[in-house]
């Protein structure tokens, strides 16, 4: 297990608040970093293109000010997510801006991130790449990434099919670098479980949609409070890649969640308008939604996760045979 120095020194909790299309905004990212977990957002959320520079300026400045005013507090670095796909015509522009602002971490999704790795390493930035399979993990390692995000069964948005109990140990058998586990992690006990199975960090998305800062309509946040794991539907219809969505939003859009046709991968469109429309109407969510019962401020939620994490550690230590 290994963590880069940047993360070893600056996290209050071993967590990355994952990037979420439309939902992640500077307010959420800044509050996550101030609370001591990595905050992140997809570059494509900053629309139109020039807005990205405003977001980078704001996040960089507010976190620097906060660090100066609270020298004893662990303030986490932030990350920007780049969708590496032919339809993302902003990729070069967005990566160049991240180089200009020396964004501490870039998170890459979909295709192998060679271009992004070279750019980030030019100034000492880190690159973590999203994968759902062993083949993709090996390809990303060839590109020189600094860590792998294993997106397992039950994750919100595009999700893999493998259990974390299968994928993490398999990747660990050939990789001793940073592993970040994604999929239905919504409480402090699951953060500890991610470490126990062999990951260094937990990657949490859906739980942060139901916070005051997240850019999601009140109805979406309430639907998360009202739903449980069985209300999550796994379908490729909306983007061409399998992902997890809230059943109630599919019904509200006039479709039968139990009879959805297959999606067409060739129509995937990042940067155009159709992707935004799909995600605005069809609400992405992971199977951890059954553990969401309120819509707190982000700072309050992270403090709660820390308490749960510590309590889980004590509980496991106290109950494990032969540990005394």
Residue whose pair of structure tokens reads 């920007």 in the numeric block: 80
Between residues 56 and 223, which has the closer beta carbon with respect to ligand FMN? Answer: 223
Among 7, 11, 12, 23, binds ligand FMN (CB under 6 A): 23
Q: Which 77-96 residues touch ligand FMN, going by CB under 6 A?
A: 81
Q: How far is the CB of 284 from ligand FMN (least distance, A)?
A: 3
Q: Which of 10, 32, 88, 109 binds ligand FMN (CB under 6 A)?
A: 109
For the segment 239-278, give every residue that binds ligand FMN (CB under 6 A).
none
Residue closer to ligand FMN (CB basis): 184 or 305? 184
Count of residues in contact with ligand FMN, rule CB under 6 A: 25
CB closer to ligand FMN, 10 vs 82? 82
Interhelix angle for 164-172 vs 134-142, to 10°? 40
- Name the β-bridge partners of 127: 106
- Rank residues 61 and 125 by Cβ distance to ligand FMN and give the closer one: 125
Q: In what order do the strands lie in the sheet with 78-84?
A: 15-17, 201-204, 178-182, 147-151, 126-131, 105-110, 78-84, 39-42
Near ligand FMN in 167-226, by CB under 6 A? 182-185, 203-206
What is the rounded distance in angstroms from the CA atom of residue 294 to the CA atom of residue 259?
A: 31
Q: Which residues pair with 30 in a beta bridge?
A: none
Q: Which of 232, 152, 206, 287 is nearest to 17 (CA)?
A: 206
Q: Which of 11, 12, 14, 21 binds ligand FMN (CB under 6 A)?
A: 21
Tokens of 243: 């992902």
Task: Assess 147 for contact with ligand FMN (CB under 6 A).
Answer: no
CB of 12 to ligand FMN, least distance (A): 19
* Nearest-angstrom CA–CA distance, 39 and 290: 23
Contacts of ligand FMN in 289-308 (CB under 6 A): none
Q: Are 194 and 185 in contact (CB under 8 A)?
A: yes
278 or 324: CB nearest ligand FMN: 278
Min separation Cβ 106 and ligand FMN, Å: 11
Q: Which is nearer to ligand FMN, 14 or 42 (CB)?
A: 42
Rule CB under 6 A: is residue 164 a binding residue for ligand FMN?
Answer: no
Interface with ligand FMN (CB under 6 A), residue from 39, 156, 160, 188: 156
| Helix intervals (H) in the chain | 5-10, 26-34, 51-69, 91-100, 114-121, 134-142, 164-172, 188-197, 206-209, 218-226, 247-252, 274-281, 298-319
Buried b (16+ CB within 10 A) or exposed e, 73-101: ebbbbbbbbbbbeeebebbeebbebbbeb
> Which one among 36, 42, 164, 263 touches ligand FMN, defined by CB under 6 A?
42
Q: How far is the CB of 159 from ligand FMN (least distance, A)?
A: 7
Stretch that binds ligand FMN, among 29-37, 96-104, 148-156, 163-171 (CB under 6 A): 148-156
User: Hunting for tokens 């600094």 — which residue is that?
Assistant: 146
Sign (positive or negative) of CA dihedral 42, 88, 61, 107: positive
User: Minimum CB separation from ligand FMN for residue 69, in Å?
Assistant: 30
Contacts to ligand FMN by CB under 6 A: 18-21, 23, 42, 81, 109, 130, 151, 155-157, 182-185, 203-206, 284-286, 288
């Amino acid at each position: 297990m290994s963590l880069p120095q940047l993360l070893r020194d600056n996290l209050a909790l071993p967590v990355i608040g994952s990037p979420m299309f439309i939902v992640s905004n500077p307010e959420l990212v800044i509050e996550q970093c101030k609370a001591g977990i990595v905050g992140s957002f997809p570059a494509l959320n900053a629309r139109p293109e020039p807005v990205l520079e405003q977001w980078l300026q704001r996040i960089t400045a507010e976190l620097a000010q906060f660090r100066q005013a609270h020298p004893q507090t662990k303030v986490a670095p932030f990350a920007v997510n780049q969708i590496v796909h032919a339809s993302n015509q902003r990729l070069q522009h967005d990566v160049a801006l991240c180089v200009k602002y020396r964004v501490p971490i870039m998170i890459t999704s979909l295709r192998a991130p060679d271009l992004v790795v070279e750019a980030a390493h030019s100034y000492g930035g880190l690159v973590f790449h999203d994968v759902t399979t062993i083949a993709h993990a090996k390809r990303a390692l060839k590109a020189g990434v600094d860590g792998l995000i294993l997106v397992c069964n039950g994750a919100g948005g595009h999700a893999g099919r493998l259990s974390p109990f299968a994928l993490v140990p398999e990747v660990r058998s050939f990789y001793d670098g940073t592993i970040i586990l994604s999929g239905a992690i919504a409480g402090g006990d699951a953060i500890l479980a991610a470490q126990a199975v062999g990951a260094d960090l937990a990657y949490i998305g859906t739980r942060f949609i139901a916070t005051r800062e997240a850019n999601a309509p009140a109805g979406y946040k309430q639907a998360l409070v009202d739903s449980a794991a069985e209300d999550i539907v796994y379908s490729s219809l909306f983007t061409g890649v399998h992902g997890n969505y809230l059943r109630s939003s599919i019904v509200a859009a006039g479709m039968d969640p139990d009879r959805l046709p297959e999606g067409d991968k060739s129509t995937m469109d990042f940067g155009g308008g159709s992707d935004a429309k799909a995600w605005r109407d069809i609400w992405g969510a992971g199977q951890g939604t059954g553990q969401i019962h309120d819509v707190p401020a982000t700072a309050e939620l992270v403090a709660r996760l820390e308490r749960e994490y510590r309590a889980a550690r004590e509980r496991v230590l106290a109950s494990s045979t032969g540990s005394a």
